[in-house]
Amino acid sequence: MAKELYQEDATTLARMLAQRQVTAEAVLRSCLARIAEREPQVQAWEFLDPEAALAQARSIDQGAQRGLLHGLPIGVKDLFDTFDMPTTYGSSIYTGQRPGADAACVAICRAQGAVMVGKTVTTEFATFKPGKTRNPHRTTQTPGGSSSGSAAAVADGMVPLAFASQTAASVIRPAAFCGVVGYKPSYGLINRAGVKALSDPLDTIGFLARSVDDVALFAAASNGERTAPDLTSSGTPRIALCQTHEWPHADEDTRAAFAHSEAALDKAGIPLRHLQLPLLFSQLLQVQKEVMAFDLARSLADERLRHPAQLSEGLSQLLAQGLLVSTDRHRANLQLAVSARAMIPSILGDADAMLAPSAIGEAPGAAQTGDPVFGRIWTLLGLPCVHLPFFRGHSGLPVGLQLIGRHGEDLALLRIARSLLPMLAAH
């Protein structure tokens, strides 16, 4: 049976659209029909205007090829400004806010021919208070945070691509819980102008899709590239298996995924070694928490001072904790992060990438967003990460691992991720 258009991945759709085998309007209508069918259960969207999206698609169909994302429907996390849709940052403080401009990456993707379908649900200021979105695999469970709506929308076939962002683990964890590919680039690779600032040393634009090729295409387009990246792998990658100092948090499902990956990659002839991080790295989880809290208390100063009654209790407590971190402590934390980052090349040695946990295990219940414990240190270090979905936990929900590379070597990491995923997914 032929696939519906909404079931195709972005790379396939991009090729079909470029060859005029399908129209942008036809692709969008398929996605809108899927949204109409599933949105009452999944609730991935903060804002939708189907007629405005259809007008975008018709305009694209009437013109010349615009770019890498020509005619592709995209979900925009509600942390990203959009000139033609409300942007609320997941908070009632900003209900109905209409920014005057797009976030830089949104504007660039429009110029690349993308159709901005709507705004996907985010948690309160991309922190830890759950939004309304449910996990499409089981609606009693969380899709994760803070890129909850984006991950759920991609996983459920509502859109092939969606913007995400990560300050702790908000690309990788939702990708893990929803069973999609999540890509957090190297810190600073994607321009953040027009995305609500939370922590300058941590905030990173990310991408959610259903294949490694798709996130690579999306990221390249978001940087204004005019040609799709070549993910052809050269040679056999060397992988370091890294359980991290946070391994005691991993449940049986993540442990099983880790054991499966070691066996599958070994069988495929991939050179493996176990990597023990230096003792210094055991401090990084707390360092990231303090850096994030310090910055949030200041970046959300207006909201904290003028609208305290509209902040959740959890966020208010987090901001209060941030105010207790001294400037000297913050400076020392940032220096420690710099020192740890400088150690990465020697830690990796001859390994091309590390394979490490993405989340504790399967998605927990919808009253929470899950613990970001396995994402925090990599965000602090600014390293590129790709979540690989290839496993199911004890109750049938998605589980996977993340591949982590050297800062700035994103293309090499994406090539490795693309080559390893079929090996990991083979049972």
What's the chain's average pLDDT? 98
Q: Is residue 296 part of a domain?
A: no
198 shares a domain with 141? yes
* Distance (Å, whole) CA 129 – CA 223: 31
Q: Is residue 134 part of a domain?
A: yes
* Distance (Å, whole) CA 130 – CA 147: 10
Q: Is residue 12 part of a domain?
A: yes
246 shares a domain with 158? no
Exposure pattern of 332-371 as b/e (b: 16+ CB <10 Å)? ebbebbeebbeebeebbeebbbbbbbbbbbbbbebeebbb
Q: Please give the C-alpha separations between residue 237 and each of 152, 185, 390, 403, in angstroms, as whole numbers.
A: 31, 19, 19, 12
Q: Is residue 43 part of a domain?
A: yes
* Distance (Å, whole) CA 34 – CA 4: 10
* Distance (Å, whole) CA 311 – CA 409: 39
Q: Is residue 318 part of a domain?
A: no
pLDDT digits (tens, 9 = 90+) for 92-116: 999 999 999 999 999 999 999 999 9
pLDDT digits (tens, 9 = 90+) for 255-268: 999 999 999 999 99
Interhelix angle 148-155/24-42, rounded to 10 degrees, is: 120
Q: Which residues of the chain have pLDDT under 50?
A: none
- The pLDDT score that the predictor gives to residue 234 is 82
Residue 395 is among the residues annotated as catalytic for this protein: no
Choosing from 188, 222, 256, the residue where a domain stops is: 222
* Distance (Å, whole) CA 344 – CA 333: 17
62 shares a domain with 108? yes
Please give the model's pTM, rounded to 2 decimal places. 0.98
Q: Is residue 291 part of a domain?
A: no
Residue 419's domain comprises 239-282+331-425
What CATH number should be reported for the domain holding residue 160? 3.90.1300.10
Query: What contacts 316, CB < 8 A, 6 or more positions away?
Result: 304, 308
189 shares a domain with 142? yes
68 shares a domain with 180? yes
248 shares a domain with 191? no
Choosing from 175, 197, 222, the residue where a domain stops is: 222
- The pLDDT score that the predictor gives to residue 412 is 98
CA 57-58-64 angle, 5° bins: 90
Active-site residue (options: 146, 148, 261, 299): 146
**Short-list 47, 28, 54, 3, CA closest to 160:** 28
Active-site residue (options: 91, 147, 148, 170): 170
251 shares a domain with 399? yes
113 shares a domain with 35? yes
- Reduced 3-state DSSP string for the chain: CCCCHHHCCHHHHHHHHHCCCCCHHHHHHHHHHHHHHHHHHHCCEEEECHHHHHHHHHHHHHCCCCCCCCCCEEEEECCECCCCCCCCCCCHHHCCCCCCCCCHHHHHHHHCCCEEEEEECCCHHHCCCCCCCCCCCCCCECCCCCCHHHHHHHHCCCCCEEEEEECCCCCHHHHHHHCCEEEECCCCCCCCCCECCCCCCCCEEEEEECCHHHHHHHHHHHCCCCCCCCCCCCCCCCEEECCCCCHHHCCHHHHHHHHHHHHHHHHCCCCEEECCCCHHHHHHHHHHHHHHHHHHHHHCHHHHHHCHHHCCHHHHHHHHHHHCCCHHHHHHHHHHHHHHHHHHHHHHCCCCEEEEECCCCCCCECCCCCCCCCCHHHHHHCCCEEEEEEEECCCCCEEEEEEECCCCCHHHHHHHHHHHHHHHHCC
Q: Is residue 290 part of a domain?
A: no
Query: What contacts 306, CB < 8 A, 6 or more positions away?
Result: none
Residue 59 is among the residues annotated as catalytic for this protein: no
245 shares a domain with 195? no
Q: Is residue 361 part of a domain?
A: yes
- The pLDDT score that the predictor gives to residue 427 is 63
261 shares a domain with 163? no
- The pLDDT score that the predictor gives to residue 4 is 97
Tally of domains in the chain: 2
Active-site residue (options: 77, 184, 196, 289): 77
Choosing from 222, 253, 268, the residue where a domain stops is: 222
- The pLDDT score that the predictor gives to residue 2 is 78
170 shares a domain with 32? yes
Residue 77 is among the residues annotated as catalytic for this protein: yes
244 shares a domain with 214? no
